[in-house]
Structure 1
Amino acid sequence: DGELVSPHMVSRVTDSGGDVLEDHDEDASTRRIVSSSTAGQLRSAMRTVVDEGTGTNAQLPGATVGGKTGTAQHGENNSKTPYAWFTSYAESDSNGKKVAVAVLVEQSDAERSEVSGNGLAAPIARETMKAALQD
């Protein structure tokens, strides 16, 4: 909803039975960086990218997924194979879990013309989101 949450690597630590030992979400501070309306428009645009645009390889049954594909130039005058990236979020339709994932593929065996965020990075993001959203 337009608020920036202080980044942290671990949200919570649990024991083998699932009991929370440490909860770092409570430590996270937030500040508004865009309006709720603007954030909603951005989420909608990112969902369109996955539903019918350049990020269809990130579609995940049972989840709402939004993302943005890209390629980045690499080397002097873009002389090397470009980087493929995909930035995304997903929310499970069944359990409400949420996750944000960014993938950058710096090296691949793909032909230069085949390097894309949808082709290389989105499938990795999809599988990462799938694992994170499981019950």
Structure 2
Amino acid sequence: MDAEKEKNEDIIETIDLTKRFGKKNEITAVDSLNLCVKKGEVFGFVGPNGAGKTTTMKMLIGLLEPSGGSGKVAGFDIVREVIKIREATGVLPEPAGFYDNLTARQNLRFYAKLYDIDEKTREKRIVDLLELVGLERAVD
């Protein structure tokens, strides 16, 4: 891909992206959002509390399924290709940290499962990562 084509690539795109809540979908949090952010652009997502910023971001990383419309992040569909979006962006869903009530192994296992890393690879990476940071003795 040449540099000019890559520069014009849509990194985030939504078409009529909508999210409704409630038993009868009576509460609209995001209403037909059309958004296009090109690769390399700096984009600010601002607005008052309740404007739908967090709801939109959660849909973009696959934590919430849209009620309507569609979206892509890094060329991947926000409903069907969530794992690929997480791999491409390195997104770490909230809470961005570790759970105090879990061991180091359990914390790493939790996040590895979010990225759908197979069990054999996951368990080896956990041991390797803990050795890398000098926590192999504190694994459990």
Q: Is TM > 0.5 for Structure 1 vs Structure 2?
A: no
- The structure carrying a bigger strand percent of its residues is 1
TM-score (norm 2): 0.26
TM-score (norm 1): 0.27
Larger Rg: 2
